[in-house]
A and B are shown apart, each in its own frame.
Chain A
């Protein structure tokens, strides 16, 4: 079964600082990878996704992520965060093949951006 690890539970940054949130997954086969964001009191929103092709994917709101297959990683980045980026960020994996259909989520990283 696949699993997802997010190394940082809580990250605190000042506005304009650069962001990198780590995500590692364990699964030997082909995967689809996702980052979701959950703003306070709201539902999960898809930030970006990787299915195949260019390992550097761009999402909404200036976020990007890089898939490094050899490291089983899919780290989320943003060059300059804003106060409105304060939210919880979840990395998720959908393993292809077999009977697995569901998303497996990491434990989430709470990002607090100070004005």
Chain B
């Protein structure tokens, strides 16, 4: 157990819908990262927040957004969902702005039908 929690574990929804994924970092960690794992794209970085502020952006679609709240938990919002958004979404956390080590949560498996 890494100490990073994610909810829900599984999510099944229809195309065009909007969902919110939630992540709580390890105690004491200020950085939260979101990654998407799919069969065709592998593990890709989406976005990073540090102490409430967006600090780095990767291959995140405009339909996706995230935020980090004062209690440091983070939410990833996915809207206008498409079949290709079906993937495992991982959250990771680290102590500092640049890691160095990231600890991953169990992931949320999103299935878009």
Contacts and interface: CB of A to CB of B under 8 A. Distances in A.
B56 A49 contact: no
B99 A101 contact: yes
B42 A105 contact: yes
B55 interface: yes
A46 B103 contact: yes
B56 A101 contact: yes
A102 B58 contact: yes
A99 B50 CA distance: 13
Contacts of A42: 106
B43 interface: yes
A94 B100 contact: yes
A94 B105 contact: no
Contacts of A103: 33, 35, 45, 92, 99, 102
A96 B33 CA distance: 17
Interface in A78-115: 90, 94, 96, 99-108
Interface residues of A, number: 23
Contacts of B106: 42-43
A5 to B, nearest CB: 12
Given A45-B2, A102-B56, A102-B58, A108 B42 contact: yes
A32 to B, nearest CB: 5
Interface in B17-69: 31, 33, 35, 42-45, 48, 55-56, 58
A103 B48 CA distance: 11
Contact of A49 (B55, B98, B101, B104): B101
Given A44-B104, A102-B45, 17 more contacts: A32-B100, A43-B90, A43-B106, A45-B2, A45-B104, A46-B102, A49-B101, A51-B100, A90-B43, A96-B98, A101-B31, A101-B98, A102-B56, A103-B45, A103-B92, A105-B43, A106-B42
Please provide the 10 A-B residue pairs with the shortest distance between their CB atoms, ordered closest to farther.
A102-B45, A105-B43, A44-B104, A101-B56, A43-B106, A43-B104, A107-B42, A32-B100, A101-B48, A101-B98
Interface of B: 2, 31, 33, 35, 42-45, 48, 55-56, 58, 90, 92, 97-107
